Amino acid sequence: MKITAQDCQNLERALSLEWLETNGRGGFSSGTVAGANTRRYHALLLTARKPPSERFVLVNHLDEWLEVEGHTIPLSTNLYPNAIHPKGYQQCIGFTTNPWPTWTYDCQGAVVQREVFCVQDRDLVVIRWTIATKTKKTITLRLRPMVSGRDYHATHHRNESLSPTATATDGLVSWQPYSGLLSVQALQNGAYRHDPMWFRAVQFPAEQQRGLDFEEDWWSPGEFTYQLNPGVAATLVLTTEPIDSVDVAALAKGERKRRAGLRAAAPTADPLASGLWCAAEAYLSARDSQQTVIAGYPWFTDWGRDTFISLPGLCLVTGRWEIAWHIIESFTAHISHGMIPNRYPDAGGQPEYNTIDASLWFIHAIARYLAYSQDEARVRAIAWPAVKQIIDGYRQGTRYDIHMDKDGLIAGGISGAQLTWMDAKVGDWIVTPRHGKPVEIQALWARALEVGAQLATAFGEPAYATRCREDRRQAVSSFHAKFWNEPGGYLYDVIDGPEGNDASIRPNQLYAISLCDDLVTKKQAKQILQIVKDHLLTPVGLRTLSPADSRYRARYEGGVLERDGAYHQGTVWPFLFGPFITAWQKVHGKSQAKNAQARTLLNGLEAHLHEACLGQVAEIFDGDAPHQARGCVAQAWSIAEPLRALIEDLGITASIQPTPLKKP
């Protein structure tokens, strides 16, 4: 991902392009190509105190200036009310994300590079500056760290509680602005002068557009000064780790090698598959001693539904089978009343179980894991009991009136609860309640019973296998009888709801094709696919509601009420390319020509990798053209499902070496 000088020096364009560095612990660094923070989530040192939760912004930004032969030249950029100061973007002549975010500045003929990278599995970020050309000019770098120490969802304002002190020794400075937070350790090879001051009213326009608090005050403890010389990097390492020295060159070498290995394993024949492959790692994170999936950056942590929809694309097609197992194992420990958690609160505490589909996606993911890994021993010992708990829990009934009805289908929903992936809620208003029997839940239930029968047979429980097959036959028969909307020529979105059957044209019906082979006939599948293509398909994903529907919302914009009201009422979701491509292949078959035709449907995503958050895919897009990227700038299932479809359905291959499986 390379950005030209023209784009770097176009402020509007450079502010729209974001970069993301993650550390595998829930922490991350992010910002814009322009250098200015436009979100409350942009920061250099943002760590998760209990990975991946309890995230805190500790160092927001650096103000950076060069002194070249008597000229003072800014490298950084800040946004203030009715003012931009300084304007470092005007000196930027190039930006790249390879191997990590790197800016190149032309400062009075002296070319300086600035790099930022996170180190995997450490709460540590490195920033370094180097002279990229030969010069005899005297160059001094001055920089001020901007510190807050706040929850990453909040904003920081000048107050009397902040401790303005610093502890400085040779090469190490530490600050602890607030008690109860870890100290910030700053290791550097320059000189530090303690000189506390406040920078007031920094503006975050992206938050203003979202109708949220968009102004913040930053505290700066002091100033670092470096003499820049050719061949010697000026370095600043920011961390919460208790260390007194660090080998920056070794860290850079290790990260460069690790990232080169990741790129080398990626598919080379398809640029989209290669890009998605390299992006996938950003979402894998530690949780306690196990693994989990970050649903999206910058504001999500891990969600059960997102985790198991994403797991095949993030971990299985990429050969990360051992990580996939640890994710599965992590969730088995939290099954309650036949349900896996839907969400772990940001501030810790008990997990939330408010979803009807996450547990069924969990079963599907276990089956896919077993198909890839052949790891029968661990699946039998740990995952199989969890599968039975879920199937039996749904049969008997569990939270939110989720239960297997007398027709064999799964029903659920109570007043005030939103249980499917279309889960927007504003106050007491549930935008898309979908109470009753949603179509994708029936496909997932039929799939879960199929998996139950297969595993029970493999693990010597024939009676359980028989019951799963019998329940599945009833569910499939009822699906055939009730879900086909004959006048429309597609499937109802929900049946047996409080207001009867819902004939909304939505993408959820695709799962009846992609997950199972016997829920619809071949003729019906063709009709469904055509309806979905005509009403919902866009270059960057699928709409959540037909534009012909009176409730359709063309733009995801405005305040919380307006945005959540549009979230599943027309807004485009790129992860839905996954079931669409799988359904497309099932209907049209596989051949080189047909695969190539299906691949063209993803060209819009390939172009998007060079927009918004570079190398990543956004959570959502506007329903109408030009399909502006919205929501989280980087979303796990937006990466995972298109990548899975490219590899499993379209046959894009990579030279992977699957992670070795541990013996149980």
Spell out the domains of the chain, with CATH numbers in brackets.
2-259 (2.70.98), 266-649 (1.50.10.10)
Least Cα distance to 294 among 335, 255, 343, 363 occurs for: 343
How many CB atoms are closer than 10 A to CB 243? 13
Calpha distance 6→107 (Å, rounded): 16
pLDDT score, position 315: 98
For residue 127, give the amino acid letter.
I
Helices and strands, counts by H and E, the chain:
19, 37
pLDDT score, position 658: 80
Calpha distance 7→13 (Å, rounded): 6
Given the structure tokens 């290995």, which residue do they identify?
261
* H runs (alpha helix) in 120-247: 205-209
CA 41 to chain centre: 14
How many CB atoms are closer than 10 A to CB 227? 12
- Whether the CB-CB separation of 657 and 280 falls below 8 Å is answered with no
Residues of the chain with pLDDT under 70: 347-348, 663-664
- Whether the CB-CB separation of 441 and 454 falls below 8 Å is answered with no
- Whether the CB-CB separation of 476 and 484 falls below 8 Å is answered with no
Calpha distance 389→142 (Å, rounded): 60
Calpha distance 521→486 (Å, rounded): 13
- Whether the CB-CB separation of 35 and 127 falls below 8 Å is answered with no
pLDDT score, position 376: 97
pLDDT digits (tens, 9 = 90+) for 321-370: 999 999 999 999 999 999 999 988 776 678 999 999 999 999 999 999 99
Give backbone dihedrals phi and psi of 16, rounded to 5 degrees, phi first: -80, -15
Calpha distance 444→452 (Å, rounded): 12
pLDDT score, position 664: 52
Give backbone dihedrals phi and psi of 591, rounded to 5 degrees, phi first: -160, 170
Which residues are CB-contacts of 183 (< 8 A; sequence separation ≥ 6)? 174, 175, 176, 240
Given the structure tokens 């909307």, which residue do they identify?
485
Calpha distance 144→333 (Å, rounded): 45
pLDDT score, position 276: 98
- Whether the CB-CB separation of 395 and 384 falls below 8 Å is answered with no
Least Cα distance to 419 among 409, 406, 410, 427 occurs for: 410
Least Cα distance to 62 among 134, 110, 98, 114 occurs for: 114
Calpha distance 490→504 (Å, rounded): 10
Packed helices 304-311 and 321-332: angle between N→C axes, nearest 10 degrees: 150
Least Cα distance to 493 among 440, 538, 531, 454 occurs for: 440
pLDDT score, position 347: 67
- Outline where DSSP puts E strands in 152-271: 167-169, 172-175, 184-188, 191-203, 215-228, 234-239
Percentage with pLDDT > 70 across the chain: 99
Given the structure tokens 């993650």, which residue do they identify?
22
| Residue 146: DSSP 8-state | E
Q: CA dihedral in degrees (348, 349, 354, 355; nearest 10)?
A: 50
Which residues are CB-contacts of 73 (< 8 A; sequence separation ≥ 6)? 65, 66, 67, 91, 107, 108
pLDDT score, position 304: 97
Which residues are CB-contacts of 102 (< 8 A; sequence separation ≥ 6)? 95, 96, 113, 114, 115, 116
> What three-state secondary structure class fits 469?
helix
